[in-house]
């Protein structure tokens, strides 16, 4: 009789653990980093463009800064040709001067206290 009672408690405890873990999501650092996308690059005059990016999710953490990086490399390095600023908007734009005889690639970026995210480049 005592053994049956013990087994019943073990089964109940097991189902309790399964039920508790079922609803738990394991968060990673990638879950805390913002997600950004380039929206557009529009020619403005002969030697400048207007670039627009958007923060699609801030992961529930305040954005410290956002901006753009650009260059003639198809994947422009984040640390070169940066334009950074702070806004309270999820969509942001910048007016950038470029050489009219070169092809440029643009990426947007955003950072919070966990790190930064960079979009795929667009031409």
pLDDT at residue 93, as a whole number: 96
- Spell out the per-residue pLDDT of the chain, length 123, in tens: 555 555 554 445 444 444 444 555 555 556 789 999 999 999 999 999 999 999 998 878 899 999 999 999 999 998 889 999 998 889 999 999 999 899 999 999 999 999 999 999 999
What are 50's two structure tokens?
Answer: 């207007």
Termini Cα distance of the chain: 76
pLDDT at residue 13, as a whole number: 45
Over the Cα atoms of the chain, what is R_g?
Answer: 24
pLDDT at residue 74, as a whole number: 94
What's the CATH architecture for 29-118? Sandwich (2.60)
The model's pTM:
0.74
What are 21's two structure tokens?
Answer: 């873990």
DSSP letter assigned to residue 62: -
What are 9's two structure tokens?
Answer: 């408690």
């Amino acid at each position: 009789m005592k053994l049956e009672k013990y087994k019943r408690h073990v089964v109940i405890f097991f189902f309790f653990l399964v039920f508790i873990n079922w609803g738990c999501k394991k968060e990673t650092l990638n879950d805390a980093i913002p997600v950004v996308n380039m929206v557009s690059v529009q020619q403005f005059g002969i030697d400048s463009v207007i670039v627009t990016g958007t923060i699609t999710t801030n992961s529930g953490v305040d954005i410290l800064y956002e901006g753009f990086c650009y260059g003639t490399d198809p994947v422009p390095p984040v640390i070169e040709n940066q334009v950074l600023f702070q806004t309270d908007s999820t969509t942001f734009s910048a007016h950038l001067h470029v050489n009219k005889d070169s092809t440029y690639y643009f990426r947007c970026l955003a950072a919070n206290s966990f790190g930064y995210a960079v979009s795929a480049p667009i031409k």
